[in-house]
Amino acid sequence: MSRARGPAYAAAVLAVGYAAVSAYWTAGGTALLDTVGGAPERTAHTGGASAVLLGAVTVLLKLAGALLALALVAPFGRRVPAVLLERTALAAGVVLTLYGGAQVLLGALALTGVLGEPGNPRALRWHVLLWDPWFLLWGLLLLVAVRRRRRDVGGSE
């Protein structure tokens, strides 16, 4: 059994979970929407075709992230050249990790008041404690899956 399976499956579960939350909001759900704050919250409340389109694209990108994680360990992933698959997953992992990590750090700093009074402290706390670490963990799991896959197949690191 591939050592990459655990982190790849975990990354896929996080991606699908995040896609489900986005799908719920895109379909008009409002629970926890106020924990997002800013433009995404305003867009969801405004509704209309642009909100649905933005939500649908967001859901599709997150589901693509799940498929990418699964492709690292599932038979359908063998149809994609290994170098392309691994580099794409590596790039996605780096982007998710950097984005999530930077958002957590900046959000935590903003909550201290050093950067001034946060406009929406409640939403910012939710970002620091849940939404942004979710991206961070998803990215880290993708990176671990790629590294383990490379070791399992004897590829270069």
Contact (Cβ atoms closer than 8 angstroms) between residue 142 and residue 99: no
Q: What average pLDDT does this structure show over 124-146?
A: 98
Q: What average pLDDT does this structure show over 37-52?
A: 90
Structure tokens at 37: 């704050």
* Range with the largest mean pLDDT of 32-41, 63-72, 73-82: 63-72
Q: Is the dihedral of CA 3, 154, 13, 123 positive or negative?
A: positive
Q: Which domain holds residue 64?
A: 5-153
Q: How far apart are CA 63 and CA 57, in angstroms?
A: 10
Of residues 97 and 43, the one with the higher pLDDT is: 97
* Res. 29: pLDDT tops 50: yes
State the average pLDDT for the chain: 94
The pLDDT assigned to 1 comes to 53
Confidence of residue 153 (pLDDT cuts 50, 70, 90): confident
Q: What average pLDDT does this structure show over 137-151?
A: 97
| Region for 28 from its dihedrals, namely left if φ exceeds 0, alpha if ψ lies in -120 to 50, beta otherwise | left
Question: What are the tens digits of pLDDT across the range 70-118?
Answer: 999 999 999 999 999 999 999 999 999 999 999 999 999 999 999 889 9
pTM metric for this prediction: 0.92
* Res. 155: pLDDT tops 80: no
Domain count, the chain: 1
